[in-house]
Structure 1
């Protein structure tokens, strides 16, 4: 084994002379290795190494960009269904009877109050009575009713308020630029959407699991 000395012209150690041509070749090889190492350190792949993961692994070279984990886009899960009873801050359960009348009831296990809340897009839901099969809908004038067919008037923007209750505003209709909300007054009767406000207790509903 030869020990390196500072002399370039006569690299020797323990009587092992190294010709100048060999020293120059060795320097060239070291310089090439240095370039390859620098390229790998910056995340680039050396020439001749493809971008396929198997090819990179087979080469034994760590190309950082090929192993980089890309950010995933988690889209809203459309079609997600929840069975809930919408319990208002005024202590009424929202219900839709077979005639399409929307009302409030204090009966906890009333069949017409069990709702199927289905996500139709980001933050937008459709609400349907399980027993009657009618969809909660709002007219242009802000009146709530049960619709046999699902249509744009059946879409509501669902929002969780600061107090933990949800509000449901018509996606299709507004009144004077203001949102119109699903609302039950102190007697359990539906209020016109334009008379309800987001912060009013009559518009606040707690989705409760069926017992």
Structure 2
């Protein structure tokens, strides 16, 4: 229950400057007082307006003002949060086999060679995909312990140590497949993608394009 009262004019629309009277016109029933719920809603609305005037968060176009709460000028909390603020996704680990649209499983052998295989349960194709930040993953072969990495020239290889070259931006494409682009390296301003050609051989990152089937992978759960 609110601890303070609204101005009389807000509760009694009939009481305005120059036209106020002590009772209803003859023949009309007495004006009913607002319910406690209406009083609290009015209190909350006025507090929200006062907060905005003091430097709080204004509501955006089409946004319900009751969905915005601000403390001072801090707009860090709303009922609708952007995906970028979901930091709890960091550290998420998945065991998957990356199956390309060209029907090959990505694998890394013990020598560090990256290749594609059609063998479904091949040990070197089982990958640990770990989220290192929102939308960025590190991919490691479970059997060899080597990380998938990309060189400055766009060559894929297995790295014994985790480093910035092992970070890839993971994106779900419109067809449901994922693409993996190097976070560190670009070629002429273009992203370089993990890619397997029609023979299952890795392509240079600068020769791959986001929409090309060779860059599309479906993360499949191990069986």
Please report how far the alpha carbon of residue 188 of structure 1 lies from its aligned counterpart in structure 2 after TM superposition.
0.3
| Partner SS for 1:194 | helix
After TM superposition, give the deviation of residue 152 of structure 1 in Å. 0.2
Q: Once the two structures are superposed, what CA deviation does each residue of 1:92-142 show, in whole Å capped at 9, x if it has no partner?
A: 000000000000000000000000000011110000000000000000000
* 1:100 paired to 2:112: yes
Q: Residue 38 of structure 1: CA displacement? A: 1.0
SS at structure 1 position matched to 2:144: coil
In structure 2, C-alpha distance between the alignment counterparts of 1:86 and 1:143, rounded to whole Å: 18
**Superposed, which structure 2 residues align to 1:59-208 within 5 Å?**
71=78, 75-76=86-87, 77-208=89-220
How much is the aligned-residue C-alpha RMSD, in angstroms?
2.2
Partner of 1:42: 43
Give the match's secondary structure for 2:171.
strand
TM-score, scaled relative to structure 2: 0.66
Pick closer, same or farther for the CA change 1:71–1:102 going to 2, 3 Å.
Answer: same
Take 2:197 and 2:43, find their aligned partners in 1: how far apart are those partners? Answer: 66
Query: Could you say which residue in structure 1 is the equivalent of 2:16?
Result: none
Q: Rg bigger for which structure?
A: 1
Q: Give the length in aligned residue pairs.
A: 156
Residue in 2 aligned with 1:62?
none
- Residue 61 of structure 1 corresponds to none
| 1:20-44 residue CA offsets vs partner (Å, 9 max, x unmatched) | xxxxxxxxxxxxxxx9421764237
Distance in 2 (alpha carbons) for counterparts of 1:119 and 1:127 = 9
- Structure 1's unaligned 5+ residue stretches are 1-34, 46-64
CA pair 131-37 structure 1, distance change in 2 beyond 3 A: same
Closer/same/farther in 2, CA of residues 88 and 37 from structure 1, 3 Å limit: same
Give 1:209's aligned residue.
221
